[in-house]
């Protein structure tokens, strides 16, 4: 089959949900038995988002092969079965650094190196390479049409139609139709301008997907069609929805996939969206609800914890429970105390970097352990639990991570280099500062679970593959002491014998992992650790209610 490219651009304003729309479209095409992948092009100069603050960029999504990528790749993996890799996301920074490297090597000897053709050719090469092995390649262009930064990307995708054939390419433009309450109508003018901008680059969109908080009338559809040169049936309305997982069904209902397939000459069966219909059904028919507290630093920015939040929702679907997520500022706990954790039915501490707010997280882990509230710790959430346990149960008063206090008395979390010699033997602690760039343990690693541990029973298998993004590890020097104080290590890394999961046998549900399970959770499957966590929150709620009833 000849490879087809579907390019997705965005206009009018940013944050329209281009990533989710691309992912939802890909989900429908996958349900038509097509072999799909999605590539995200980011117009910024950073090589990857790994060094950008979550405040600016949201979470960093880690792929199996250890790339630090845009959070949209998380949406892609939650909507389609194809796994993303470092080839599915590239930035202007990567393109320029590649071109400059080649220039120094003399690859362009004799030529003046320019945006066109050198940068645009490299962009096209990356797109082709990213789409290798797939029949349909959706390409999402970051930013908004009209930005200076995304011009080379737009120029490249324009050229691709000439090179691979217009009949093998399709352009989708996502826009906003603002609703003006005083006149009671949605406005089409910004969309017309945005399409005009695209046309000036040489791109005529085939499909317009119009975001709005109101449905568009036939009149408005006809107007958009006329002014933007797009068939009426290819003007698709995307009304705000309460769940992103409704979007595949919503788009299919307007026949967008039929139109795309016809336009690209694709012969494939109708989309069977029964799995997505099941997700919608589960969401609409919960049998109860639980309230989870997520203790972190970026409470006003849910995108900083996007995959964790989605994974909690997926576990809710699996357990048929609505999951209410309360984002709690760990610094607030330091000021006001753990009383603000009262009423929660479970506590989750996600990953994080830096000392700010860490003591509040340690206080939360202590509260969960002592009050026997279900606890799920992820990465830093595991490290703080371990520090807490060392300090308050194992009698190591000043226990800490060398990330926060480099010369603490009990460095129960530290860099491997600080407690291992080159041969891998445990040595005396020595200060060994390492660089902050390129020194993380990233991507999927095999982990062996300890038979009959809670984690092993949840996973239902012995060997698991989970993704990492951290620099610090549990310090094996203190392991024996911590274990004899009651800590159970439920999983070790296969290659390096590092602690991957801890749990407390005398607690109803206290599990913390060095890896990030949220990156492997999908709405159709959920993740065993998250499902178990939400189930335990429900059990906690039931037994608490029973106790309260008995007391009354």
Binding residues for CTP: 14, 147-149, 187-192, 223
Q: Which residues are annotated as a binding site for L-glutamine?
A: 352, 380-383, 403, 471
Which residues are annotated binding-site positions for ATP?
15-20, 72, 239-241
DSSP states along 206-261: SEEEEEESSPPPHHHHHHHHHHHT--GGGEEEEE--S-GGGHHHHHHTTTHHHHHH
386-403 burial, b for 16+ CB within 10 Å, e for fewer? Answer: bbbbbbbebebeebbbbb
Residue (4 or 445) nearer to ligand GLN, CB: 445
Q: 280 vs 363, which CB is nearer to ligand GLN?
A: 363
Q: Which residues are annotated as a binding site?
A: 14-20, 72, 140, 147-149, 187-192, 223, 239-241, 352, 380-383, 403, 471
* Cross-strand bridge partners of residue 140: 8, 40
DSSP state of 62: E
Q: Given the complex with ligand GLN, which of 372 and 471 has the nearer CB atom? A: 471
Q: Which of 115, 117, 142 is nearest to 46 (CA)?
A: 142
CA distance 12 to 145: 8
Nearer to ligand GLN, 469 or 535 (CB): 469
> In the complex, what is the shortest distance from the CB of residue 183 to ligand GLN, in angstroms, rounded to a whole number?
49
**Of residues 92 and 521, the one with the C-beta less far from ligand GLN:** 521
Q: Give CA–CA dist 277/471, Å, rounded.
A: 41
Indicate the residue whose CB is closest to ligand GLN.
Answer: 351
Annotated binding site for UTP: 14, 187-192, 223
- Please calculate the CA angle 505-483-401 and round it to the nearest 5 degrees: 110
Least distance to ligand GLN, CB of residue 248, Å: 31
Residue whose CB is less far from ligand GLN, 127 or 511: 511
Residue closest to 234 by CA, chosen among 94, 452, 433, 25: 25
Residues marked as catalytic: 379, 516, 518
State the minimum distance, in angstroms, from the CB of residue 60 to ligand GLN: 9
Rounded to a whole number of angstroms, the minimum distance from the CB of residue 454 to ligand GLN is 21
Integer Cα distance of 388 and 375 in angstroms: 13
Query: Which residue spans within 342-430 are E strands per DSSP?
Result: 346-349, 375-378, 400-401, 411-414
CB of 383 to ligand GLN, least distance (A): 6
**Min CB(367)–ligand GLN separation in Å:** 20
| Residue with Cβ nearer ligand GLN (224 or 498) | 498
91, 45 contact by CB (below 8 A):
yes
Percent composition of the chain: helix, strand, coil (DSSP 3-state, to 5): 45, 20, 35
Minimum distance from residue 445 beta carbon to ligand GLN (Å): 14
Whether the CB-CB separation of 381 and 349 falls below 8 Å is answered with yes
CA distances from 364 to 290, 335, 516 (A): 18, 13, 19
**Residue 381 and residue 292: Cα distance in Å, rounded?**
15
Containing H/E element for 61?
Answer: strand 61-62
Site of interaction with ligand GLN (CB under 6 A): 351-353, 379-380, 403, 469-472
């Amino acid at each position: 089959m000849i490879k087809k490219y579907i390019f997705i651009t965005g206009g009018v304003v940013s944050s329209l949900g281009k990533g989710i729309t691309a992912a939802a479209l890909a989900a429908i095409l996958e349900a038509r038995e097509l072999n799909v992948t999605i590539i995200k092009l980011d117009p910024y100069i950073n090589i990857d988002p790994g060094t950008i603050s979550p405040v600016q960029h949201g979470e960093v999504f880690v792929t199996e092969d250890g790339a630090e990528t845009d959070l949209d790749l998380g949406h892609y993996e939650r909507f389609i079965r194809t796994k993303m890799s470092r080839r599915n996301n590239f930035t202007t920074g990567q393109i320029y650094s590649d071109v400059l490297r080649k220039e120094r090597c003399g690859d362009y000897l004799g030529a003046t190196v320019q945006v066109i053709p050198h940068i645009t050719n490299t962009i096209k090469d990356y797109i082709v390479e990213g789409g290798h092995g797939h029949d349909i390649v959706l390409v999402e262009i970051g930013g908004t049409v009209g930005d200076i930064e995304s011009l080379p990307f737009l120029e490249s995708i324009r050229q691709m139609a000439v090179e691979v054939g217009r009949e093998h390419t399709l352009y989708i433009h996502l826009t906003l139709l603002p609703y003006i309450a005083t006149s009671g109508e949605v406005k089409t003018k910004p969309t017309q301008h945005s399409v005009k901008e695209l046309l000036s680059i040489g791109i005529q969109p085939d499909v317009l997907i119009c975001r709005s908080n109101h449905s568009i009338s036939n009149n408005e559809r006809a107007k958009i069609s006329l002014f933007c040169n797009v068939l009426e049936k290819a003007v698709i309305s995307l009304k705000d929805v309460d769940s992103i997982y409704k979007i595949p069904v919503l788009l299919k209902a307007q026949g967008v996939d039929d139109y795309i397939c016809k336009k690209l000459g694709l012969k494939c069966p109708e989309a069977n969206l029964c799995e997505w219909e099941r997700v919608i059904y589960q969401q609409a028919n919960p049998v109860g609800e639980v309230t989870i507290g997520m203790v972190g630093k970026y409470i006003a920015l849910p995108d900083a914890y996007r995959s964790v939040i989605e994974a909690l929702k997926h576990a809710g679907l699996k357990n048929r429970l609505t999951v209410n997520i309360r984002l709690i500022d760990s610094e607030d706990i330091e000021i006001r105390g753990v009383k603000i954790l009262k009423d929660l039915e479970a506590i989750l501490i996600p990953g994080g970097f830096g000392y700010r707010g860490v003591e509040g997280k340690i206080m939360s882990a202590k509260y969960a352990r002592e009050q026997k509230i279900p606890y799920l710790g992820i990465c830093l959430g595991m490290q703080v639990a371990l520090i807490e346990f060392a300090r308050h149960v194992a009698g190591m008063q000043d226990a800490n991570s060398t990330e926060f206090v480099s010369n603490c008395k009990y460095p129960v979390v530290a860099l491997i280099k600080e407690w291992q010699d080159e041969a891998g033997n445990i040595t005396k602690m020595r200060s060994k500062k390492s660089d902050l760039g390129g020194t993380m343990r990233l991507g999927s690693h095999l982990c062996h679970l300890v038979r009959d541990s809670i984690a092993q029973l949840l996973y239902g298998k012995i060997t698991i593959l989970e993704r990492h993004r951290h620099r610090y590890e549990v310090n094996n020097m203190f392991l024996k002491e911590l274990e004899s104080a009651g800590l159970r290590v439920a999983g070790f890394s296969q290659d390096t014998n590092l602690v991957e999961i801890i749990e407390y046998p005398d607690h109803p549900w206290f599990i913390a992992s060095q890896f990030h399970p949220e990156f492997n959770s999908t709405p159709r499957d959920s993740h065993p650790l998250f499902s178990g966590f939400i189930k335990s929150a429900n059990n906690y709620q039931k037994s608490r209610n029973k106790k309260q009833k008995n007391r009354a």
